[in-house]
Copies of this chain bind each other. A is one copy, B any other.
Amino acid sequence: MEATIFSGNDILQMETRIRAAFMNSLSGFKSASLIGSIDGKGNSNLAIFSSVIHLGSNPALIGFINRPDSTSRHTLENILETKCFTINHVNKEIYKKAHQTSARYAKEVSEFDATGLTPQFHTLLQAPYVKESHIKYGLEFAEKHELKINGTVLIIGRVLEVIIPDNCLLPHGAIDIEKAETITISGLDCYHTTDLLSRLTYAKPGILPEEII
C-alpha cells in the first residue's frame, strides 16, 4: 500500500475537528460503554465513553479517561460525590441512543429521559444501570489520577458486581462479548459489529499459536 507520513507539525496544523477525528482513530478500536452515575440528590446521569480500559484482575480494577472540560464532566462530579458508577456495554440495538447521550444536556436533565434508555437500580450501589445493556458492571470509586500533561483525569473503579447473559460465559472464563452483541467504536462517531477470526492458544517461545476456536 502507498502510504503518507504525517509529521507532528502536520497534526498540529490540522483544523480542530479534523485533528480530533484523526487522533481519535489512531489508537485503534475502542470499548463502547455507557457510564451511569448519580448525584447526592438522586439525579441520574448517563454518558457514552470510548476510553474504558482493563487495569487489573486481582484486585478487579477498570479505569476510564475523563475530560473535565467536556460534556462528560457531570459523570466525574457525580462519581466524586457518590463514590460509585456503572459501566454498561453498548450493543447494536441501542447504539444510536447511546451516541445521543454525548449531546450537551444541562445537568438537571437525565440522559435516560432524553434518550429513552431505561434506568435499572440494584441494591448494591446507588448509580443506575442501563436495562437494555446485556453486559454491565457496578464499581466503587477507587482512585483519581490527574494527567497534568493535558488536564485529563484517569478514574479507577473497583468492580463490585458483574451482570452477564447466561449463555455468554465461556468455559475458560472469558465472556463472549460478541455473542452479547457488544459493539466497538472507531474515531469519534463510527460504530462497528465484530466477527471472531479465532481464539489463539497461550503463546510460548518456539511453538506457533494454534486456533482454539
Q: Which residues of A contact B (CB under 8 A)?
A: 1-8, 11-12, 14-33, 50-62, 65, 89, 92, 95-96, 99-105, 109, 114, 134-135, 137, 142-143, 145, 147-150, 152, 154, 156, 158-167, 169-170, 172-175, 177-178, 182-184, 186-205, 207-209, 212-213
Contacts and interface: CB of A to CB of B under 8 A. Distances in A.
**Interface of chain A: mostly helix, strand, loop or mixed:** mixed
Nearest to A54: B27
Given A22-B173, A99-B200, A177-B28, A55 B65 contact: yes
A191 B184 CA distance: 13
Copies of this protein in the assembly total 2
5 contacts: A21-B170, A21-B173, A22-B175, A28-B182, A99-B200
A199 B190 contact: yes
Given A4-B169, A192-B196, 9 more contacts: A4-B166, A16-B57, A25-B175, A29-B29, A50-B54, A56-B149, A99-B200, A104-B205, A177-B186
Nearest to A180: B1
A138 to B, nearest CB: 9
A11 B60 contact: yes
A173 B19 CA distance: 6
B134 A143 contact: no
Contact of A4 (B32, B55, B164, B208): B164
A15 B173 CA distance: 9
Contacts of A192: 178, 194-197
Contacts of A149: 55-56, 59, 61, 142-143, 156
A14 B162 CA distance: 13
B54 A4 contact: no
A164 B18 contact: no
Contacts of A12: 58, 60
Contacts of A198: 190-191
A75 to B, nearest CB: 15
Contact of A27 (B29, B31, B99, B193): B31
